Amino acid sequence: MTINEKAARTAAARSPKLQEASHLGDAQELRDGWFFAFHSTTVAGCNGVIVNKDTGALFHLGSAFPPERDLELYDRGYQFERYDLVIREVRDRAKTLVALLGLRFLVVELVLEHGTTWRIPRDMSRDELSARLDELPCTFTDVSLYFKVELLEEARAASWFVFEAREHVSTQ
């Protein structure tokens, strides 16, 4: 069942992030969803919400980029907050490694000091990434791509590697 504009507006109005919004703007139909800008003096960091036409899932736009960028990327499939990025094939290893370094995947190291275990995140090294690519498919779980989508799209256009960006489903 495809969600119509009226049902999408009702769903968007119930969003906890938008409860302080004074009102939702006009609907803009996308291929996969309905976008509603909103106007508020109390909610910062969000340019509006997209309601998925098929699932009713809400996707809140950040405010770091113009809404047009996020709307275009939404219809390209970037519809989630967290992803599992699956590298299926590597066609140019050197450029793939440069792109993956740019994505800044984190590793958490445990350090014991004075009876306390500290969890210290750091970026994966080139050698660690290269070792991960030795066995495909290679999956990087629970990553945010919001600030890095253009890098992935550049890699896709240049065919450096083949990937799939799937919604991360938390097991907690």
Please determine, for residue 77, whether its predicted confidence score (pLDDT) is greater than 70.
yes
Q: Are 82 and 89 in contact (CB under 8 A)?
A: no
| Whether residue 96 sits in one domain with residue 70 | no
Look at residues 140, 152, 149 and name the one whose alpha carbon lies nearest to residue 106.
Answer: 140
| Whether residue 32 sits in one domain with residue 103 | no
SS3 11: helix
What secondary structure letter does DSSP report for 169?
Answer: -
Per-residue confidence (pLDDT) for residue 39, from 0 to 100 = 66
Task: Round to whole Å and give the CA distance between 92 and 99.
Answer: 11
Q: Given pLDDT bands bounded at 50, 70 and 90, which one contains residue 24? A: confident
Q: Are 11 and 56 in contact (CB under 8 A)?
A: yes
Cβ partners under 8 Å of residue 156, min gap 6: 163
**Structural domain of 143:** 83-167
| Whether residue 90 sits in one domain with residue 66 | no
Q: Which of 38, 57, 75 is the last residue of a domain?
A: 75
When pLDDT is averaged across residues 72-91 and rounded to a whole number, the result is 96
| Whether residue 108 sits in one domain with residue 140 | yes
Q: Given pLDDT bands bounded at 50, 70 and 90, which one contains residue 171? A: confident
| Whether residue 103 sits in one domain with residue 163 | yes
Q: Which of 59, 75, 91 is the last residue of a domain?
A: 75
SS3 150: helix
